[in-house]
Structure 1
Amino acid sequence: MKARTLQKDKVNIITLGCSKNLVDSEVLSGQLRANEIDVVHENAKLDHNIVVVNTCGFIDKAKEESINTILDQVNLKKKGKLDKIYVTGCLSERYRGDLEAEIPEVDAWFGTLELPLILKQFDADYKTELLGERMLSTPKHYAYLKISEGCNRTCSFCAIPLMRGQHVSRTMESLVEEAESLVKKGVKEIMLIAQELTYYGLDLYKKRMLDELLRQLSDVKGLEWIRLHYAYPNKFPLEVLDVMRERANICNYLDMPLQHASDNMLKAMKRQSTRAEIEALIADIRAKNPGICLRTTLIAGFPGETLEDVEELKDFLTRMRFDRVGIFTYSHEEGTSGYELVDDVPADEKQRRAQEIMEVQQEISLEKNEEKVGQTFKVIIDKKEAGRYLGRTEFDSVEVDNEVVIHSKKKLTIGDFVYVKITKAYDYDLEGEVVL
């Protein structure tokens, strides 16, 4: 330990959970580096002496992963391989008091909005002039852009407002400036993220302004793809689709978590929409923007969910034919209004229902992919693995959606766009050859 203290500090940041957490870690990294502190992400070399764990506290599995990661770092500290452990993020925000008592080896705990306090641990100053500056941990050709913090919704299953607070939009000027900065670093695709995208602007501008934000971001030179994640269906601003249709660099893609389709479940989840209203919205979206890729996420096993509710959800998927679907099993979260209900669906039954629902979507996904065989798509090259390239169309986001396996006789450059003719289709992926 004495020998180690003679060395310059090196900080490793471990990020767990969603892309919003990743952005927070990137901002922290940027601030540390601006204060001349050596910082890395997910450092496999273990040549650092300080670690910051940015935790997730969304559902049980995420909380378990966060705690196990903290305990792993505590073991390293006990072996003399770490000097300091700091913990931040949603889990720390939500359970700080309990965690301090249970894991005293952690040197300090911080909430989700306490970046300046973290920096003080390093005798570093929060540099306001670096607003929007980040040290990217993604490949340099894409990045996430967080347009707001917090959420005003009251969904009965969700603890995010407990951890992230109420909705706060960032100014359009700051977002455009950040997008321009990202492009200068080589970013070609940005994914707009928030707890709730469609609420953007209501607090700052007294009206929904996502459409205007898209126009301004679309004008940023060098930005080739803009992608929308986490849109709420109730009072969805349809004018966003007009901008999407008018601007070539806004992906024909919309991620809209619906959570369920049974009216019983939608009411219990406090989702503010009925199945009929959701189906009408989807029809309006597709009428305004034919060919749009719709992604949704669902929850299986919410308290009181019956087999009839599951069948209704499966029927909904069959009728709506989403391009992409993800599913979670319900997690009983204290502090939410859903916690007052009896968690009456056993864990194995939740899993069985989730699998049954995804089997419906798997068939739809294969059919939709088979329709693409013979067609040519613009594809961004993400990486090379096992002698083949992997990329995505505008209808696919990073990590959660389909990949295109690309065969090419010539060398391709990561981050470049190529045109690929699809030759094979699988349940969730495509295969093709470069034609241009």
Structure 2
Amino acid sequence: MKKNRIDVVTLGCSKNLVDSEMLMKQLLANGYTVKHDPDKPEGEIVVINTCGFIGDAKEESINTILGFAEAKKNRKLNQLFVMGCLSERYMEELKAEIPEVDRFYGKFGWKGLISDLGKSFRKDVEYERALTTPAHYAYLKISEGCNRACSYCSIPIMTGRHNSRPMEEIVAEVQSLVAQGVKEFQIIAQDLSYYGIDRYKEMKLPELIERISDVKGVEWIRLHYAYPAKFPYDLLRVIRERDNVCKYLDIALQHISDNMLSKMRRGITKQETIDLVKRIREEVPGIHLRTTFLVGHPGEAEEDFEELMEFAKDAQFERMGAFPYSNEEGTFAYEKYEDNIPETVKQERMDMLMAIQERVSLNINESKIGQTFSVIIDREDTDYYIGRTQYDSPEVDPEVLISKDTPLNKGDIYNVIITQAEPFDLYGNIVI
């Protein structure tokens, strides 16, 4: 156990990661040594930033807390703190069940941890972060919360209503991160499309992205988690016109049948969804779309799923993920519907969708053989340098494995010709 060291463990999404990075900056500013997700936790204090989105995520969070609670009982650490979405949602239950935890904090209450450690919250670094990502890229959270009313989603229960950050504050953070060497920004929010409506009374995402794009030193901007209903179409002009805005959009569609879109309370129809995808592709030629589908929601009949599979085949999404319905207490679906689709059927449907996507992804990747792409280098292993094109986000999208014939620098962008393709990876050589 190392004195004055705090280990921070982050579970869940990139939005949680940003919160952890802000906490870590405060801890460092107060004189602590801080490690993030260490292979071997050795700190006298551990902070766990939890996820509470769906069943599997909640189980992982609880198991992680229990593991560190046991370590505390065995005197392998002195203090254990828990923050994030799970404790926001189940604060009282967790306090009763896991008394070994010294203090629980909600999603937005982590600043209290600083004072509970006997330290002061440092206003001079309030918007700064200790990056856990490679030095050349960072996640940039532009809002919190969500005003949508999707039937299955527990996130608004934990995060509250949509709260856009001021544009000036976001741009100042970008400038600060660029000064630290960051050149690639993953723009994240629970709902990008809604940005600005609460604060400025109109959709401001296009203007915000233009202002970020104008910051000298910003080389790539990538957009995550747009909402399809009432989509801000002017954003497509920005993606098309700005060279440093990647031709990439993450937009979760969740389903395609009118029956399921209605039951899920998505605020959009099948035809409107098809028209949206068509318009995005027409206005931004070459764009790569990432989407997510939800299977096994109450009321999903075989014909609904068949319709979804046909849509996945026809739409040819460059990137696609799927997840099974999780019956989350407090949601509309939990209160109104019976969770009557067996878990085995949910898993089968997810596997069938992903099998379709594997074939789609292979065809798309094979079409890139012989083409040259700009690739940013993230890391190297024994055999390859590993990077990404503008069409690939860290952690979730395909990577480009580059032969080590030529020495490359991490964080630099190189021209790479694609020589080989697999469903979820590309191989290539540097263009000299």
Q: Same fold (TM over 0.5)?
A: yes
Structure 1 match to 2:390: 394
Structure 1 match to 2:121: 126
* Residue 348 of structure 1 pairs with residue 341 of structure 2: no
TM-score, normalised with respect to structure 1: 0.97
Alignment of 1:335-414 (within 5 A): 335-340=330-335, 341-414=337-410
CA contact (8 A) 2:257 2:304 kept: yes
Greater shift after overlay, 109-118 or 371-380? Answer: 109-118
Structure 1 match to 2:237: 242
CA contact (8 A) 1:27 1:132 kept: yes
CA contact (8 A) 1:16 1:54 kept: yes
Give the distance between the partners of 1:46 and 1:253, measured in 2 at CA.
Answer: 37
Structure 2 match to 1:268: 263
Give the distance between the partners of 2:99 and 2:404, measured in 1 at CA.
Answer: 54
Deviations 1:265-299 (A, max 9, x none): 11110000011000001111111111100000111
Residue 186 of structure 1 is aligned with which of 181, 192, 196? 181
Give the distance between the partners of 1:34 and 1:220, measured in 2 at CA.
Answer: 27
- Which runs of no fewer than 5 residues in structure 1 stay unpaired? none
Structure 2 match to 1:418: 414
Deviations 1:161-209 (A, max 9, x none): 1100100000111111111111111111110000000111111111000
Give the distance between the partners of 2:354 and 2:23, measured in 1 at CA.
Answer: 37
CA contact (8 A) 1:116 1:125 kept: no
User: Which residue identity is paired with 1:130?
Assistant: V
Deviations 1:65-98 (A, max 9, x none): 0000001101111111100000000000000111
CA contact (8 A) 1:13 1:51 kept: yes
User: What is the CA-CA distance between 1:20 and the residue it aligns to?
Assistant: 0.2
CA contact (8 A) 2:312 2:357 kept: yes
CA contact (8 A) 2:23 2:111 kept: no
Deviations 1:85-115 (A, max 9, x none): 0000000000011111111111100001112
User: What is the CA-CA distance between 1:407 and the residue it aligns to?
Assistant: 1.0
CA contact (8 A) 1:391 1:405 kept: yes
Give the distance between the partners of 1:326 and 1:168, measured in 2 at CA.
Answer: 27
Residue 16 of structure 1 is aligned with which of 11, 18, 37? 11
CA contact (8 A) 2:195 2:203 kept: yes
* Residue 328 of structure 1 pairs with residue 315 of structure 2: no
Per the alignment, in what secondary structure is the counterpart of residue 145 of structure 1? strand
Structure 2 match to 1:433: 429
Per the alignment, in what secondary structure is the counterpart of residue 233 of structure 1? coil
Deviations 1:227-276 (A, max 9, x none): 00000000111111111111110000000001111111111100000110
Structure 2 match to 1:52: 47
Alignment of 1:2-401 (within 5 A): 8-340=3-335, 341-401=337-397
Query: RMSD in angstroms over aligned alpha carbons?
Result: 1.1
User: What is the CA-CA distance between 1:125 and the residue it aligns to?
Assistant: 1.9
Deviations 1:323-359 (A, max 9, x none): 0000111100000001021111111110000011111
- Which runs of no fewer than 5 residues in structure 2 stay unpaired? none
User: What is the CA-CA distance between 1:8 and the residue it aligns to?
Assistant: 4.1
Per the alignment, in what secondary structure is the counterpart of residue 401 of structure 2? strand
Give the distance between the partners of 1:155 and 1:109, measured in 2 at CA.
Answer: 28
Per the alignment, in what secondary structure is the counterpart of residue 90 of structure 2? helix
User: What is the CA-CA distance between 1:385 and the residue it aligns to?
Assistant: 1.5
User: Which residue identity is paired with 2:301?
Assistant: T
Give the distance between the partners of 1:46 and 1:429, measured in 2 at CA.
Answer: 32
Give the distance between the partners of 2:118 and 2:93, measured in 1 at CA.
Answer: 27
TM-score, normalised with respect to structure 2: 0.98
Per the alignment, in what secondary structure is the counterpart of residue 71 of structure 1? helix
Deviation >6 Å, runs of 4+: none
Deviations 1:374-398 (A, max 9, x none): 0000001111122211111000101
Give the distance between the partners of 1:115 and 1:85, measured in 2 at CA.
Answer: 13
Deviations 1:107-162 (A, max 9, x none): 10000111221111111222233232000011111110000000000001000011
Give the distance between the partners of 2:382 and 2:259, measured in 1 at CA.
Answer: 48
Report the number of matched residues.
431
User: What is the CA-CA distance between 1:214 and the residue it aligns to?
Assistant: 0.6
Per the alignment, in what secondary structure is the counterpart of residue 432 of structure 1? strand
CA contact (8 A) 1:196 1:231 kept: yes
Give the distance between the partners of 1:216 and 1:319, measured in 2 at CA.
Answer: 36
User: Which residue identity is paired with 2:90?
Assistant: Y
Give the distance between the partners of 1:85 and 1:255, measured in 2 at CA.
Answer: 36
Deviations 1:38-85 (A, max 9, x none): 222112343310000000000000000000000110111111110000
CA contact (8 A) 2:358 2:423 kept: yes
Give the distance between the partners of 1:385 and 1:346, measured in 2 at CA.
Answer: 42
Give the distance between the partners of 2:266 and 2:55, measured in 1 at CA.
Answer: 22
CA contact (8 A) 2:383 2:403 kept: no
User: Which residue identity is paired with 1:337?
Assistant: F
Give the distance between the partners of 2:271 and 2:214, measured in 1 at CA.
Answer: 37
User: Which residue identity is paired with 2:338?
Assistant: V
